[in-house]
Structure 1
C-alpha cells in the first residue's frame, strides 16, 4: 500500500487558516505527513501572491526535498494554473528542480503535449481522471 498525502490542492488561500501556501509551509506539512506514514506528497506550489503557479515549482520542490529526503514528490499541472497552454509548457520546460511525477488531467485539451514534455524531461506522469 502507498499512502499519498495531498497537502493543499487547488483550494483558495482562505480555505483554512493552516492551508500550506509557501514552500516552507508545504515542506513542514510534508515532513509531518511523511513522519505519519505517507510515502508520497502531492503538492500545488504557490507564488508570492498565494495563487497556484508552475513558476513556483523549483522553490517548493527544493524545500520539500530538504525536509523529506527520499520521499516521492508530485505536482499538479492543471490548465487552470497558468490559464494558457503555451505558458504552461514554457513554465514546465523551465523547471530545474524536477518533481518525481506531475499530475496531468487527461480531460484537458493540451494533456498529450504536456505528457510528451514531461516524458522528455524524465518526469513521471500521474493521470488525473475527472470522470469514469
Structure 2
C-alpha cells in the first residue's frame, strides 16, 4: 500500500492524567471516564484540539482496558465530537508488546500513541511489523513516542527496514523523563531536532513535544517556535509558567495558549 497521510495533529493536545499521578498529586486530576471527558471538554474550550487518553481501573491504576477505552470514546463522541482522541499503549513496566497490540486491536481507535522502545524492546520484530501494517491498513494514526536521541535513530532504522511502514509519521519527543527530578528545559529539544534533521530525508513528519516539570510551558513554546506541536497537561506538569500550581488541566491549556498568543504563534488550526 502506498504511503498514507493523515490530517495534521492540532497545535495543542492535552494529556490530563497520564499513568502515574493520582488525586493525591492534584484533586482535579481526572481518574474516571466521566472525569476525563469533563476535563477534555473544558480543555477543548480552552484551546486544545486533541485528547491523549489514559484510562484507570476502579482503584485508580493505569490499565490497558479495551472496554474502558471504548466507553471513553463513546462518551467523547457525544460530548466533544470535534476533539481528536488518541489512546495510549503505555506499558508502565507491566504490559507486554503483545498485550499492547491486543488493546489496539480491541479498540480500533482513530489514533494511538506507541513508544518504540516498549513495542519493539528487542530484535524480535516480525509481530511488530505485522501490527504496524494492520494499523496502516486501518487508517489508524500512530504517534511514535521517543524518549531519547537513541530512540529517534532506532525509529528511523526501523522505518528504513520496513518494520514501521512508510507513511506520514507523527512523532513525540519526550523532554525530562530521565532528567534530574524530571525537570526539563528548552535546550533539551536541540539534540532531538539535530538528529531529526540528519535522518528525516524528505519524509512528511508531524512532530510534537511533551515536557516534564516546572518549565513545561516554556519548553512547548520553544517547540512550536521551531515548527512543532505541543502536548500539555497534568501527565507531565502541574505548574503554570508563573510557577504556581494550575487550577486544572484547562488552566494549563490557557497558560500555553496565552504564551503562544503573546508570540504570535497561534496560526495553526486547532483541529
TM-score higher than 0.5 here? yes
Runs of 4+ in 1 over 6 A off after TM superposition: none
What is the match of residue 52 of structure 1?
Answer: 62
Cα distance between partner residues in 2 of 1:8 and 1:115: 26
Count of aligned pairs:
130
Pair 1:2 & 2:11 matched: yes
Cα distance between partner residues in 1 of 2:31 and 2:49: 21
Q: CA deviation at 1:107?
A: 2.0
- Tell me how large the CA RMSD over aligned residues is: 2.2
Pair 1:107 & 2:117 matched: yes
Q: CA deviation at 1:120?
A: 4.2
- TM-score normalized by structure 2? 0.44
- Superposed CA offset, 1:1-52 (max 9, x none): 6111111112232332211011110000000000111111111112222112
What is the match of residue 86 of structure 1?
Answer: 98
Q: CA distance change for structure 1 residues 104 and 68 in 2, over 3 Å: closer, same or farther?
A: same
Pair 1:30 & 2:30 matched: no
Please say if residues 45 and 57 of structure 1, whose CA atoms lie closer than 8 Å, have aligned partners that are also in contact.
Answer: yes
Pair 1:19 & 2:36 matched: no
Q: Which runs of 5+ in 1 are unaligned?
A: none
Q: Which runs of 5+ in 2 are unaligned?
A: 1-9, 150-271
Q: CA deviation at 1:99?
A: 3.2
SS of corresponding position for 1:17 = coil
Please say if residues 89 and 103 of structure 2, whose CA atoms lie closer than 8 Å, have aligned partners that are also in contact.
Answer: no
- TM-score normalized by structure 1? 0.83
* Larger gyration radius, structure 1 or structure 2: 2
Deviating more after overlay: 108-117 vs 73-82 = 108-117
Cα distance between partner residues in 1 of 2:95 and 2:57: 15
- Superposed CA offset, 1:93-120 (max 9, x none): 111xx43311111222437625344334
Please say if residues 14 and 50 of structure 2, whose CA atoms lie closer than 8 Å, have aligned partners that are also in contact.
Answer: yes
Q: CA deviation at 1:82?
A: 4.9
Deviating more after overlay: 53-62 vs 117-126 = 117-126
